[in-house]
Amino acid sequence: MINLRSILKIRGITLRRIAKEMGVEYCSLQKTAKGRRKHPGMQKVLALYFGVDAKLLFGPGRDATIRYIIEREIENRAESQKRELREKYLKSAS
């Protein structure tokens, strides 16, 4: 099963950081992320942070949504690395 920790790890962020940035309590956010609590407000905070609808992130198709977010993050990183390498090796050669 894919879970939210996978997204956090690939982005290099923590729930504490998200809680601080979004102005919510860490404990409530953590319990919601782990699935122990179904607090709609915390679900919306996490969904907003990850740029998806809360129903998609916490509903029946959540694994597909999390997989989509991870795929998007991988693509973003790949593009970023391409830009860095082009900047480093191709612009200096011109």
Query: 23: left (phi > 0), else alpha (psi -120 to 50), else beta?
Result: left
pLDDT digits (tens, 9 = 90+) for 37-91: 999 999 999 999 999 999 999 999 999 999 999 999 999 999 999 999 999 999 8
DSSP letter for 91, please.
Answer: T
pLDDT digits (tens, 9 = 90+) for 5-36: 889 998 899 999 999 999 999 999 999 998 89
- What CATH code is assigned to 4-90? 1.10.260
Helices 62-85 and 4-11 pack at an angle, to 10 degrees, of 10
Contact between 74 and 66 (Cβ < 8 Å):
no
Q: Which own/partner contact pairs does 81-84 have at CB distance under 8 Å and 24+ positions apart?
A: none
Which SS3 state, helix, strand or coil, does residue 45 take? Answer: helix
